[in-house]
Amino acid sequence: MHCLVGLGNPGAEYAATRHNVGWHVADELARRHGLELSRRRLRSHFGRGIIAGQDCLLVKPQTFMNDSGDAVARVLMYFRLPVSSVLLLYDDLNLDLGVMRFRRGGSDGGHKGVRSVLQHLHTQEVPRLRLGIGRPPPGMDAIHYVLTPFSRSEADRHREMVERAAEAVELYLREGMEAAMNAYNS
């Protein structure tokens, strides 16, 4: 079983923010494949179903971003899944809006949600899809920036990225990391 984990923050005030792009992709995958994230335990909302012909657990941790690792570790332990089954979906300041990059693992890149996951899973080898949200404008700090919604001028690029990311995850599930990296890491 694959464990697709969208990182984000719970609460209506964060729903449309840049930091919740991982959740946006999880929601798009759920919509496309008729999954309901109706199970609520293990500090997460999750649902199980078939995506791109694969048995998948789609997870949205309900911890705040900086404690995402606790929820992810609980889900993996409960379902007895290996770390290699995980694909993290999350926002990345170091990529322009709309740019996506698959990675097999590596450092957290300064992302505190990813840092939490890596610490709780005791490895940096966690597959991931980084979703570009761009850098903050001059004078705005990164924390404030990630907690703001996309502007009207960015809305189309955001929506297109979410749709492309869902397609990228489907390719990843059908053909593996190498094919996904070749197709989407431009």
Cβ contact 68:61 at 8 Å: yes
Give the model's confidence band at 72: pLDDT under 50 very low, under 70 low, under 90 confident, else very high.
very high
Instruction: Please give, one letter per residue, the 3-state secondary structure of 66-117.
Output: HHHHHHHHHHHHHHCCCHHHEEEEEEECCCCCCCEEEECCCCCCCCHHHHHH
Cβ contact 69:116 at 8 Å: yes
Measured between alpha carbons, how far apart are the two ends of the chain, in Å?
A: 28
pLDDT at residue 129 above 90?
A: yes
Lookup: tokens for 25: 């992709």
How far is CA 120 from each of CA 72, 85, 146, 162, 173, rounded to the nearest angstrom? 8, 15, 23, 27, 24
Task: For domain 2-184, give the CATH number.
Answer: 3.40.50.1470
24-70 per-position pLDDT tens digit: 999 999 999 999 999 999 999 999 999 999 999 999 999 999 999 99
Domain ranges of the chain: 2-184
What is the mean predicted confidence (pLDDT) over 124-141?
96
What local confidence, expressed as pLDDT, does residue 105 receive? 97
What local confidence, expressed as pLDDT, does residue 134 receive? 95
What are phi and psi for residue 88, nearest 5 degrees?
A: -80, 140
pTM here is 0.96
pLDDT at residue 186 above 90?
A: no
Q: Which residues are catalytic?
A: 19
The distance of Cα 9 from the centroid of its chain, to the nearest Å, equals 11
